[in-house]
Each structure stands twice: as C-alpha cells, then as structure tokens.
Amino acid sequence: MTLFTYILIAAIATPVALAAICHVVVWLAARRRTFDEAAAVPLCDFAMVLGAPPVRSDGRPNRYYVRRVRAAAVFHATGSTKRLIVSGNAHHPLGDEVAAMRQALVETGVSEPDLLNDGGSVRTLQSVLAARDFFGASSVVFVSQRFHNERAVFLARTAGLDAYGFNAEDVHGGKAPIVALREAVARIRAVADACRLLITPK
C-alpha cells in the first residue's frame, strides 16, 4: 500500500475508534441506571424531562417529543418523584420546548405546582448543571429515549449527581439513522465535557 493509503485508512479509522471508545465510556457509566419500568427507578429529588422541539421541520409532530411527554406523564403518575423539571430550549426555532411540554403534561393531568421550568438549556450538559446548581438536586432521574438518558446519566454522574433514567419509547425508521449519527458525535462531545467538569472547580 502507498503512504496515501495508510494516511487515508488512519483518517477514517481514528474518528471511528474515538466514537466507539466514547460510546463505551458513556454506556458503562449508565449501565443498570436506565429503566423501562417506572416502578424500578430509585427515588430521586427531581425528575427531569429533557427537551425536544414539539414539531419537525416539515411541521409534523416530533415523535421523540411526543414519547418523552408520554413517558414523563407515566413516571409522574407513579408518585415516586413528584417534582418534574421541564428542561429545554425556550427559544427553539421550531417552538418553545418548555412551554409545549408543560402544556402537554398539564393536559395529561400533571398538576401545575409539580412542574418546574428550565427554559435556558440548549444542551444536555446545561440541563444537568441546571439540575445541580439551580434546583439544588443531589439526585435526578432523566426522562428521554434510552440513548439520551445514557448520555445525561454519564454527564450527571461526572457532575456529582446520583442519576438515573426512565426510558421513553424509542423512534425507529424515518430520521432515526441520522439521530444515531448525531448521538455518536454527541457522545464524543459529552466525554470532552466530562473531562472539563473533572478539572474545573464546582
């Protein structure tokens, strides 16, 4: 093989290897900490439903959003963790994530006083830090799809929180492969964020 071929192979293999390593690091940190059954989740200070825009760019309902709201309502109904933080981007171009989720949850029967707003979190890391620094949580259960919960739990544990996840139903087909690719990149970024958390004083 030529030198160019070796360089090309290295250029392809390096990011793939990095993504694989970061995936395993995140997965190990969240192993046995995400649950499909609400009753299995340990008692925490807060539950936090992680934001998603209510609609897609084509105007159709966002299935990730719909299923997170449904899961949050189910989890809240168990009564194990009454205070539910609705976290997301209040200024998302496709709609106020927090206002939409809050309204949808109220319509399912969740009591208004049980809902707390975090409308300034554009990234999962910001949601984690809001739970710790603004709401004063020492333990939290995230409500999102499993892949997202794993990343949130990883970041939260790095930030010193006792963290778990309640898994919303995942989405298959459509743009799911694109979401999976984005998640691979997000896990690399999450590991970098975790490194910064570890070396930065609280």
- Residue 36 sits in a domain of what CATH number? 3.40.50
Q: How many domains does the chain have?
A: 1
pLDDT values of the chain reduced to their tens digit, one per residue, 202 residues: 665 554 545 556 567 888 999 999 999 999 999 999 999 999 999 999 999 999 998 999 999 999 999 999 999 999 888 899 999 999 999 999 999 999 999 999 999 999 999 999 999 999 999 999 999 999 999 999 999 999 999 999 999 999 999 999 999 877 778 888 899 999 999 999 999 998 876 6
Q: Phi/psi class of residue 145: alpha, beta or left (left: φ > 0; alpha: ψ in -120 to 50)? A: beta
> CB of 45 within 8 A of CB of 142?
no
- The tokens for 57 are 């760019």
pLDDT computed for residue 137 by the predictor: 96
Residues spanned by the domain of 190: 3-199
Helices 63-78 & 97-107 angle (0-180, nearest 10): 50
Count CA atoms within 13 Å of residue 110 on its CB side.
30
| 8-state DSSP, 120 | B
**pLDDT of amino acid 94:** 92
Predicted local distance difference test score (pLDDT) of residue 172:
86
Pick from 134, 143, 138: nearest CA to 108:
143
Instruction: Give the model's pLDDT for residue 6.
Output: 44
- Report residue 50 as tokens: 């992680």
Q: 70: left (phi > 0), else alpha (psi -120 to 50), else beta?
A: alpha
Nearest to 60 by CA among 181, 167, 145, 175: 175
Residue 68 CB burial class (10 angstroms; 0-12, 13-18, ≥19): buried
